[in-house]
Amino acid sequence: MVSENRLSLQSLIQPIFIDERIKDPKAIESMPGQFRQSLLTIAEEAGKLEDLGVPAVLLFGLPEHKDESGSQAYDPHGVVQEAVRRIKEATGLVVITDLCLCEYTSHGHCGLVRGQEVLNDETLPLLGEAAISQAEAGADIVAPSGMMDGMVGAIRAALDLEGYIDTLILSYSAKYASTFYGPFREAAESSFAFGDRKSYQMDPANAAEALWETQLDLEEGADMVMVKPALPYLDILRSVKDRFGVPTAAYQVSGEYSMIMAAAKMGWLNENAAFLESLLSINRAGADMIITYWAEEYARLNA
């Protein structure tokens, strides 16, 4: 009764990968317990999550074809758009769509590139197109994750122009250039062909910059903001929540998940206790919502 904070299933969001090239669910080796779903299995999987009481999902797509400009990201019949339709038909889940080019570009970067350079401003209209196609498919919330400057403003303007005034934006506002995304890049096949993401993602040494980035996103119309990764950036989470007081999400990323799973497999950590403690600490640091690959497991434990 004297606990100051309590973890609730109501605040957890389960990420799901949907692979256009498969029929049956496929295990993700770098993330034990996680699977890629197919367009044939996604409705059933979503129904299972809904029955367990998971309130929301965050979708990532693996397209059949990638190209220089990531065109499957904004194809009205792309893999994510089709997955949204199927989930919305089958369930009442809140559907959040990751909005980025990196899973769809042949070079793996989050924007258009010229030579070795990622082109910020040229990428913005494509993000607007992607947002419209996701909203049209039925997404409740779009979540731009590419850290392009001006992306939230461009997406808000594009959505409003098409009449999607009630589609919310959850911005990955303080997203660090983190090594903890490693397992995700295998899961989503979004490794880059050259360079790194340090020209658009944040330097782990910086804290004030996170507040700047978050403020800009809010001024551009973000409804919710995010700190990512979670556990190595709890100080950032606390200051973002204290400074702005807006709905704040934290992303317990693939590397955070896989670290615990790997240690648990070795018998060095207790899986359930380690997840519960880390999720509680993220909640304590100010997260209103937590995106975690462990959401389904949490729901099952509490069923």
| Active site amino acids | 175, 228
Q: How far is CA 140 from CA 94, 155, 268, in A?
A: 6, 14, 40
When the beta carbons of 96 and 102 are compared against ligand PBG, the nearer one is 102
CA distance 56 to 257: 18
Residue count at the site for ligand PBG (CB under 6 A)? Answer: 13
Orientation angle between helical segments 234-244 and 271-284, nearest 10 degrees: 30
Site string for ligand PBG, 15-54 (x = CB under 6 A): ----------------------------------------
Our CA angle for 149, 216, 111, nearest 5°, is 15
Segment interacting with ligand PBG (CB under 6 A) among 38-46, 48-56, 177-185, 242-250: 177-185
Residue 130 in contact with ligand PBG, rule: CB under 6 A: no
When the beta carbons of 162 and 209 are compared against ligand PBG, the nearer one is 209
| Contact pick of 83, 224, 240, 253 for ligand PBG (by CB under 6 A) | 253
| Contact pick of 62, 102, 227, 234 for ligand PBG (by CB under 6 A) | 102
When the beta carbons of 90 and 263 are compared against ligand PBG, the nearer one is 263
CA distance 222 to 59: 19
Residue 181 in contact with ligand PBG, rule: CB under 6 A: yes
Characterize 117-151 residue by residue with b for buried, 16 or more Cβ atoms within 10 angstroms of its Cβ, and e for exposed: ebebeebbebbbbbbbbbbbbbbbbbbbbbbbeeb
Count other C-beta atoms under 10 Å from residue 274's C-beta.
17
Residue nearest to ligand PBG (CB): 184
Give me the least distance between CB of 203 and ligand PBG, in Å please.
14
When the beta carbons of 164 and 294 are compared against ligand PBG, the nearer one is 294
When the beta carbons of 43 and 217 are compared against ligand PBG, the nearer one is 217
When the beta carbons of 51 and 196 are compared against ligand PBG, the nearer one is 196
| Contact pick of 62, 79, 83, 110 for ligand PBG (by CB under 6 A) | 110
Q: Which helix (H) or strand (E) holds 144?
A: strand 141-144
Three-class secondary structure of residue 195 per DSSP: coil
The verdict on whether omega for the bond into residue 15 sits within 30 degrees of 0, i.e. cis, is no
| Contact pick of 75, 98, 217, 220 for ligand PBG (by CB under 6 A) | 98
Residue 145 in contact with ligand PBG, rule: CB under 6 A: yes
By the 8 A CB rule, do 110 and 102 touch?
A: yes
Q: Which pairs with CB-CB distance under 8 Å and at least 24 residues apart come from 19-25? A: 19/62, 19/79, 20/61, 20/62, 20/63, 20/64, 20/79, 21/62, 21/64
Residue 140 in contact with ligand PBG, rule: CB under 6 A: no
- Widest pairwise Cα distance in the chain: 59
Give me the least distance between CB of 98 and ligand PBG, in Å please.
5
Residue type at position 222: A
Site string for ligand PBG, 207-246 (x = CB under 6 A): ----------------------------------------
| Contact pick of 69, 71, 133, 254 for ligand PBG (by CB under 6 A) | 254
Residues near ligand PBG (CB under 6 A) are: 98, 100, 102, 110, 145-146, 181, 184-185, 190, 197, 253-254
